[in-house]
């Protein structure tokens, strides 16, 4: 429940809105003049101030001078003038939004519920943050604890999680909390060139092959005294996995075209969106490398298993957009409800893109639902259920995304958050599976 002060010169408007908000369990005080508003504020500062600028005995802006040490969590200026925001500019200060009359009472509910939830639960975004990760759910708190435990050590870490869950952010958080002086170097193994992967990872000497016009430092050398993050490790060619294993065992690197190895001090973190055990069975990941990498495994939960984090993340993404565009957009109650009910097959990445799309489509600063939060994937997608493998779910997601983008592989790969090469590899696997099934039927 939020404590609300409504200041407007129309008694019919204030009494009607107050009655509606009281039915929503909010505490409401009304004032029709500047003097009455000052008297109300003398008794206590509300959580939310709904303020009309044109009052019989002065301007509503004069009330803002009354707030010194404490200020309402939200101030909503209500006006019949559409250009008032540009006229006032930054005079009203932070935490101010604008609503044009006539106001639909339900448009206020999302804002008021968010304020009430903040007051009741006292969840501070800073308390739910670790590095660039954000989450207050029990599942993410457990991940935060694991990150804090492993960060000060020199152990290799193996992160497993669906696409869009934030595996690189976990790796970055581990690096930030470590005592390492070197850089954090992220590498998408699906984007490595099969012909140049040795040079890209380990570097090369000048003249070692056509086009090698100067000595090149590989990813290991760039990450020296720091952290090397190998994402989509199962997309690395298996022959190169042998060389990677040797570097992990010896901490020594040989540049292409060189005769002498050199020492490297690199903390390695690897990640995959596949089931690693299945990847080993399929020959996509060497078993000895897998066991060498998974000294400290971290399983990153999908967004559908992060109870309460959807609203927290959505509000965070919306505030980022507001800050970038100097706006005060807010979610309606229906929008937040639709967000919470969605299953988010694309995880946090999908949520971020959905909020951005909804922000663009918002009218009068209110992000509405359900139009902006419809399922992104067409067709009959089974999704998660008992008995289905992660590989099958991933296959459905890839094919449905490709269908959505009408076969545009580059756009589909960008939406899925994987490299174009990884997408091609997956599609080739599906073609081989279909061919094998046809042979089996024959």
d(CA 291, CA 64): 62
Count of CA atoms in the C-beta half-sphere (13 A) of 231: 24
Residues 205, 269, single domain; the answer is yes
The confidence score (pLDDT) of residue 138 equals 92
The CATH code of the domain that includes 78 is 3.40.50.2300
Residues 170, 201, single domain; the answer is yes
Residues 205, 66, single domain; the answer is no
Residues 199, 97, single domain; the answer is no
Residues 113, 225, single domain; the answer is no
Summarised one tens digit per residue, pLDDT across range 107-119 is 676 666 555 554 4
The confidence score (pLDDT) of residue 105 equals 63
Residues 81, 34, single domain; the answer is yes
Residues 187, 87, single domain; the answer is no
The CATH code of the domain that includes 272 is 3.40.50.300
Helix locations, 362-408, DSSP H? 390-404
Question: Could you tell me if residue 384 is inside a domain?
Answer: no
Question: Could you tell me if residue 362 is inside a domain?
Answer: yes
Does residue 46 have a cis peptide bond before it, meaning omega lies within 30 degrees of 0? no
Question: Could you tell me if residue 92 is inside a domain?
Answer: yes
d(CA 368, CA 372): 7
Domain boundary among 70, 87, 121: 121
Residues 173, 317, single domain; the answer is no
Which residue's structure tokens are 């993410």?
A: 140
Which regions of the chain are under pLDDT 70?
1, 68-69, 79-96, 98, 100-102, 104-107, 109-127, 194-195, 210, 370-391, 393, 415-417, 436-442
Residues 29, 8, single domain; the answer is yes
Domain boundary among 121, 150, 176: 121
Residues 20, 111, single domain; the answer is yes
Summarised one tens digit per residue, pLDDT across range 261-285 is 888 899 999 999 989 989 999 999 9
Question: Could you tell me if residue 378 is inside a domain?
Answer: no
Domain boundary among 299, 327, 342: 299
Question: Could you tell me if residue 106 is inside a domain?
Answer: yes
Residues 286, 178, single domain; the answer is yes
Residues 164, 263, single domain; the answer is yes
The confidence score (pLDDT) of residue 268 equals 95
Question: Could you tell me if residue 382 is inside a domain?
Answer: no
Say how many domains are in the chain: 4
The CATH code of the domain that includes 431 is 1.10.10.60
d(CA 85, CA 256): 62
The confidence score (pLDDT) of residue 115 equals 58
Which domain, by its residues, includes 72?
Answer: 3-121
Question: Could you tell me if residue 381 is inside a domain?
Answer: no
Buried b (16+ CB within 10 A) or exposed e, 84-96: ebeeeeeebeeeb
The confidence score (pLDDT) of residue 121 equals 44
């Amino acid at each position: 429940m939020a404590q609300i002060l409504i200041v407007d010169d129309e008694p019919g408007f204030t009494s009607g809105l107050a009655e509606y908000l009281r039915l929503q369990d909010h505490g409401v005080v009304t004032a029709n003049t500047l003097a009455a508003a000052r008297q109300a504020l003398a008794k206590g500062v509300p959580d939310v101030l709904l303020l009309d600028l044109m009052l019989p005995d002065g301007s509503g802006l004069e009330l803002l001078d009354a707030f010194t040490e404490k200020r309402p969590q939200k101030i909503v200026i209500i006006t019949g003038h559409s250009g008032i925001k540009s006229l006032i500019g930054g005079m009203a200060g932070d935490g101010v939004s604008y609503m044009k009359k006539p106001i639909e009472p339900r448009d206020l509910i999302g804002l008021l519920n968010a304020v009430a939830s903040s007051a009741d639960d006292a969840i501070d975004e800073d308390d739910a943050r670790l590095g660039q990760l954000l989450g207050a759910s029990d599942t993410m708190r457990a991940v935060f604890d694991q990150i804090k435990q492993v960060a000060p050590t020199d152990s290799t870490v193996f992160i497993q999680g669906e696409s869009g869950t934030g595996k690189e952010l976990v790796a970055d958080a581990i690096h930030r909390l470590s005592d390492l002086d070197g850089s954090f170097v992220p590498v998408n193994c699906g984007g490595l060139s099969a012909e140049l992967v040795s040079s890209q990872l380990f570097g090369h000497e000048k003249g070692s092959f056509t086009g090698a016009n100067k000595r090149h430092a590989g990813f290991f050398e760039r990450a020296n005294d720091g952290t090397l993050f190998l994402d989509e490790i199962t997309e690395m060619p298996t022959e190169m996995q042998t060389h990677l294993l040797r570097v992990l065992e010896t901490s020594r690197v040989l540049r292409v075209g060189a005769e002498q190895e050199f020492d490297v001090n690199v903390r390695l973190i690897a990640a995959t969106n596949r089931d690693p055990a299945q990847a080993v069975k399929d020959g996509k990941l060497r078993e000895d490398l897998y066991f060498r990498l998974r000294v400290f495994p971290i399983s990153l939960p999908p967004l559908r298993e992060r109870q309460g984090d959807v609203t927290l993340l959505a509000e965070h993404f919306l505030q980022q957009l507001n800050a970038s565009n100097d706006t005060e957009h807010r979610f309606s109650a229906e929008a937040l409800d639709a967000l919470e009910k969605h299953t988010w097959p694309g995880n946090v990445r999908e949520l971020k893109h959905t909020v951005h799309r909804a922000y663009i489509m918002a009218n009068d600063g209110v992000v509405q639902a359900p139009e902006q939060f419809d399922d992104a994937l067409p067709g009959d997608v089974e999704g998660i259920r008992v008995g289905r493998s992660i590989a099958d779910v991933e296959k459905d997601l890839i094919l449905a995304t490709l269908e959505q983008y009408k076969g545009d592989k580059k756009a589909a790969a960008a939406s899925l958050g994987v490299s174009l090469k990884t997408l091609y590899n997956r599609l080739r696997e599906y073609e081989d599976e279909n061919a094998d099934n046809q042979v089996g039927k024959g």
